[in-house]
Amino acid sequence: MTTTGKTNLLDLDRQGLRAFFAQLGEKPYRADQVMKWIYHRLENDFERMTDLGKSLRNRLAEVACVGPPNILHEKGSTDGTHKWLLGMDGGNAIETVYIPEPTRGTLCVSSQVGCALNCTFCSTATQGFNRNLSTAEIIGQVWVAARHLGNVPHQQRRITNVVMMGMGEPLMNFDSVVAAMNLMRDDLGFGLASKRVTLSTSGLVPQIDKLSEVVDVSLAVSLHAPTDELRSTLVPINRKYPIDELLAACKRYVELRPRASVTFEYTLMKGINDHPDHARKLVRLMRRLPSKVNLIPFNPFPGTRYERSDPEVIEDFRRILNNAGVIATVRRTRGDDIDAACGQLKGQVLDRTRRSATFRKQMHEESTHAA
Ligand code: SAH
């Protein structure tokens, strides 16, 4: 429901939409027709859904809407990356980023306003947390970008991949994220193959198991360190779900979902986790399950105490992994001129956790000590 009392159809996956039409006394195929209008033709005006019959169109206009998020601001990078700031309720806003590459176009989507997990090297964490996004607010990001790009599912596909790597921890917003991923993968939705939809998580073990029961999307796991001691300082949720348990859950995921893949994300920070010894320890961990490593050069943001590793160090790190037979790639930094690179998304968060105040205080203390 929206504030206008109308049902936002973007909140419903195919099953939900069919149930909604059944309630209206309509046949299920009407739901399918409406889905095609929404996701294939990117139409949000019932009046233009011309194969629906006048009375149904009027009825829909009374009780429902197709309500994507408002675009507050958008910005293009010199490298073709495009970023949207989308308004949510109150003063909240989230960010969505499109990254074009020669053979694919990836949309990076947010799942929460802010994040509650407090990873020490991520700018979203410094802003605290407000709330989960609804299904409409998640799939609405794809809808807004698709409309801007002239995306036509099955024909002119500008968005070939979606990664849940924007603001927020997607597995903390399980049901809405799963429904939105259903719409991304549904033929009547955006029609993406499951492996082209990637969920990135900081490593919530029970939810990884729960995910394997419902979808076979690609899994990306934010590892960032080869030992519990170090990982707990970077990704605090590691204290609850240490590396052994996390890797076991990833192994169960690929065993249950043989078509899915697991990638481990490893952000390289100077002098923190980029020593050859870390690489060798990582190799040993990677022997436990079929997986790939994605090395991410750290993206700085105001107030951070971390720095990006030097290019030679990143190259050496990758070489150690490759030489040991571990598939490792370095993620190219995109859109950093518009603060759209990994870990730079900020949006606008009305913090309910007081974390942003603590961060500002810390920054202030550090700068006065430095002075
Ligand atoms: N909450 C999810 C999605 C986060 S964003 C998760 O934790 O996986 C996607 C990736 O960017 C994560 O691996 C995250 O750890 C990484 N990241 C966060 N801040 C970063 C920064 N400043 N530089 C580089 N990568 C960063």
Give me the CATH number covering residue 55: 1.10.150.530
**Which distant-in-sequence residues (6+ apart) come within 8 Å of 227 by Cβ?**
243, 281
- Ligand 1 site-directed mutation target among 107, 117, 122, most atoms within 8 Å of CB: 122
Residue 186 forms part of a structural domain: yes
What is the rounded CA–CA span in Å between residue 347 and residue 362? 21
**Residues 90, 199 within the same domain:** yes
Residue 367 has a pLDDT of: 59
Q: Domain boundary at 65, 82, 107, which? A: 65
Q: How far is the CA of 167 from the centre of ligand 1 (A)?
A: 9
Shared domain for 330 and 227, answered yes or no, is yes
CA distance 264 to 140: 28
Regarding whether 53 and 184 lie in a shared domain, the answer is: no
Residues 186 and 323 in one domain: yes
Q: Are 96 and 215 in contact (CB under 8 A)?
A: no
Domain boundary pick from 50, 65, 80:
65
Under DSSP, is residue 18 helix (H, G, I), strand (E, B) or coil? helix
**pTM to 2 decimal places:** 0.94
Atom in ligand 1 nearest the alpha carbon of residue 164: 3
* Cβ 115 vs Cβ 165: under 8 Å: no
As a whole number of angstroms, the distance between CA 198 and CA 183 comes to: 14
Tokens 């065993």 label which residue?
255
Task: Determine the distance separating the centroid of ligand 1 and the alpha carbon of 343, expressed in angstroms.
Answer: 5
- The encoded tokens of residue 321 equal 């992994």
Expressed in angstroms and rounded, the spacing between residue 224 Cα and the centre of ligand 1 is 9
pLDDT for 1: 54
What are φ and ψ of residue 196, in 5° steps?
-90, 5
Of the residues 65, 108, 115, 342, only one is catalytic, namely 342
- List the residue whose alpha carbon is closest to atom 3 of ligand 1: 165
Asked whether the CA dihedral 165, 170, 172, 173 is positive or negative, the reply is positive
245 burial via Cβ count (<10 Å: 0-12, 13-18, 19+): middle
Claim to verify: residue 55 and residue 79 sit in the same structural domain: no
- 265, 299, 301: residue to mutate for ligand 1 pocket, most atoms within 8 A of CB: 265
Q: Whose CA is nearest to atom 20 of ligand 1?
A: 343
Same domain for 102 and 59? no
Looking at the structure, tell me whether residues 242 and 138 fall in a common domain: yes
> With left for phi above 0 and alpha for psi between -120 and 50, is residue 306 left, alpha or beta?
beta
Residue 57 within a domain: yes
Looking from the CA of residue 168, the nearest atom of ligand 1 is 1
Hey, whose CA ends up nearest to atom 7 of ligand 1? 202
Considering the domain architecture, whether residues 209 and 79 belong to the same structural domain is answered as yes
Per annotation, catalytic residue among 26, 65, 95, 169: 95
Residue 158 domain boundaries? 70-362
**Is residue 2 included in any domain, yes or no?**
no
d(CA 195, CA 258): 11
How far does residue 202's CA lie from ligand 1's centre (Å)?
8
Distance 342 CA to ligand 1 centre (A): 6
Concerning whether 122 is annotated as a catalytic residue, the answer is no
Q: Is 371 part of any domain?
A: no
99: three-class secondary structure by DSSP: strand
Do 60 and 206 lie in one domain? The reply is: no
Ligand 1 centroid to Cα of residue 298, in Å, is: 9
Backbone angles phi, psi at 164, to 5 degrees: -85, 70
Q: Residue type at 238?
A: N
- Asked whether residue 38 falls in the same domain as residue 147, the answer is no
CA distances from 104 to 99, 147, 302 (A): 9, 17, 31
Tokens of 267: 């952000």
For tokens 């003063």, name the residue. Answer: 91
Residues 150 and 91 in one domain: yes
Q: Which amino acid is at 253?
A: Y
Nearest to 166 by CA among 307, 341, 357, 43: 341
> Do residues 278 and 236 make contact, with C-beta atoms less than 8 angstroms apart?
no
Helix (H) or strand (E) holding 263: strand 262-268
Number of domains in the chain: 2
65 is catalytic: no
Q: To test ligand 1's pocket by mutation, which of 99, 109, 113, 121 has the most ligand atoms within 8 angstroms of CB? A: 121
Residue 369 lies in a domain: no
User: In degrees rounded to 5, what are phi and psi of residue 35?
Assistant: -60, -45
**pLDDT 10s per residue in the chain (371 long)?**
555 689 999 999 999 999 999 999 999 999 999 999 999 999 999 999 999 999 999 999 999 999 999 999 999 888 889 999 999 888 899 999 999 999 999 999 999 999 999 999 998 998 899 999 999 999 999 999 999 998 877 778 899 999 999 999 999 999 999 999 999 999 999 999 999 999 999 999 999 999 999 999 999 999 999 999 999 999 999 999 999 999 999 999 999 999 999 999 999 999 999 999 999 999 999 999 988 999 999 999 988 999 999 999 999 999 999 999 999 999 887 777 777 777 677 778 888 877 777 777 776 676 565 44
Ligand 1 binding residues, C-beta < 6 A: 119, 121-122, 165, 169, 200-202, 222, 265, 267, 296, 298-299, 342-343
Number of neighbouring beta carbons within 10 Å of residue 49:
20
